Amino acid sequence: MWFTSDNAGPVAPEVFEAMSRANEIYSSSYGADPIMDRVRDRIREVFEAPDAAVYLVATGTAANSLALASMVQPWQTVYCHRHAHIQEDECGAPEFFTGGSKLVLLDGKDAKIDLASFQQAVANTGQVGVHNVQKGALSITTATENGAVYTVEEITALCDAAKTNDIPVHLDGARFANALVRLGCTPAEMTWKAGVETVSFGGTKNGLMGVEAVILFNPDRAWEFELRRKRGGHLISKHRYLSAQMEAYLTDDLWLKLAKRSNEIADKLSKGILALPGATLLHPTDANIVFAGWRRSGHRAVQKAGAHYYFWPFDQMLEGDDDEILTARLVCNWATTDEDVDNFLRIIAE
């Protein structure tokens, strides 16, 4: 019963097998491997973007930070939600890689940027010229840190407002597949057709060992990205092991199957918790993350039985009134079993 993070889950067997095959060959280094050629072609096909520049890095922090660094100058802004991953969980990496670009924090329910909040922030930017930071880029996260998924219409509205102000849009897609299968749209509809310029296309949280793609729908930014990736220490020499993971991920729609499974098991967990006396949801279960509250006695019992998850917020305690509602974050992954969920719910209910 392990619900701390989808990062805690195992690597999909198909991915291990692909890496094993890559280990049997000699190949060119630094992304010149033939597997990467196939990955690039496949991503372009999936996103209906034949001119897109495609690169691989090992971490989501690198993907987000290098992507943003190729979009803004140090004296510009990166608009994002105040609970965005780039704000809360990347140790200042976006500011570091951009050379000091300022994160401007926006509001909105369930960690989704409210259009009016963005428009107001843009209107307030650079009002006294050289004394202020200037308009830079907008970064959208889906699924959000609170487990919510932007609709295509919501992404389009934000992109339209950004375009009006010559602001390029980055999409942090660490859980891109989870958002996509929930919406039932195409990758193109969720990205460049809506107005997104650059995507961090995640895989590590969805069954890969450690690889993320950066997709630049504006290939004019490609050379700068390549230089920044190298200078930042994120051009992997034995690149074929990244390429092999991503190729396996995209073969036979494995990426969609894994995300569909983790979403479905999260739905089951969410519905089961809601059936408990006094239980509540803090945010919608749009992807594979459940934010919920239930009685302290249930928390105490299930943690004693070996369940792993985080209180949300973290500073809640197991000691106290049995009937008080404590809130938690639980994350499912492609390998979370029905038995895990059934046991978790049974122990709480008992």
Q: Where in the chain is the domain with CATH 3.90.1150.10?
A: 255-349
Indicate the DSSP class of residue 24.
T
| Residue 96, pLDDT score | 97
Task: Encode pLDDT of 176-201 as tens digits.
Answer: 999 999 999 999 999 999 999 999 99
Distance (Å) of CA 278 to CA 118, 302, 331: 36, 16, 21
- Distance, in Å, from the CA atom of 35 to the CA atom of 249, rounded to the nearest integer, reads 13
Cβ atoms of residues 145 and 111 within 8 Å? yes
329: helix, strand or coil: strand
Which pLDDT value is given to residue 112? 98
Q: What stretches of the chain adopt beta strand conformation (E)?
A: 53-57, 76-81, 102-106, 134-141, 169-173, 198-201, 212-216, 280-281, 289-295, 310-311, 325-331
- Could you read off the pLDDT of 229-287 as tens digits, one per residue? 999 999 999 999 999 999 999 999 999 999 999 999 999 999 999 999 999 999 999 99
List the structure tokens of 314.
């973290």
Residue 208: closest CA among 34, 334, 331, 93:
334
- For tokens 């006094």, the residue is 278
| Radius of gyration, CA atoms only, the chain | 21
Nearest Cα neighbor of 334 from 266, 280, 242 is: 266
**Residue 80 forms beta bridges with which residues?**
105
The bridge status of strand 325-331 relative to strand 289-295 is: antiparallel
Contact 230, 181 (CB under 8 A): no
- The CATH number that domain 255-349 falls under is 3.90.1150.10
Q: The whole model's pTM is what?
A: 0.96
Outline where DSSP puts E strands in 149-251. Answer: 169-173, 198-201, 212-216
For β-strands 53-57 and 212-216, DSSP reports them as antiparallel
- Are 38 and 69 within 8 A, CB to CB? no
What was the pLDDT predicted at 225? 98
pLDDT at 290: 98
| Domain ranges in the chain with CATH number 3.40.640.10 | 12-254
Give me the residues paired with residue 2 across strands. 308
Pick the CATH number of 12-254 from 3.40.50.720, 3.40.640.10, 3.40.50.300, 3.40.30.10: 3.40.640.10
At residue 93, the pLDDT reads 97
| pLDDT tens across the length of the chain (350 residues) | 999 999 999 999 999 999 999 999 999 999 999 999 999 999 999 999 999 999 999 999 999 999 999 999 999 999 999 999 999 999 999 999 999 999 999 999 999 999 999 999 999 999 889 999 999 999 999 999 999 999 999 999 999 999 999 999 999 999 999 999 999 999 999 999 999 999 999 999 999 999 999 999 999 999 999 999 999 999 999 999 999 999 999 999 999 999 999 999 999 999 999 999 999 999 999 999 999 999 999 999 999 999 999 999 999 999 999 999 999 999 999 999 999 999 999 999 98
What are the residues whose beta carbons fall under 8 Å from the beta carbon of 230, sequence distance 6 or more? none
pLDDT at 260: 98
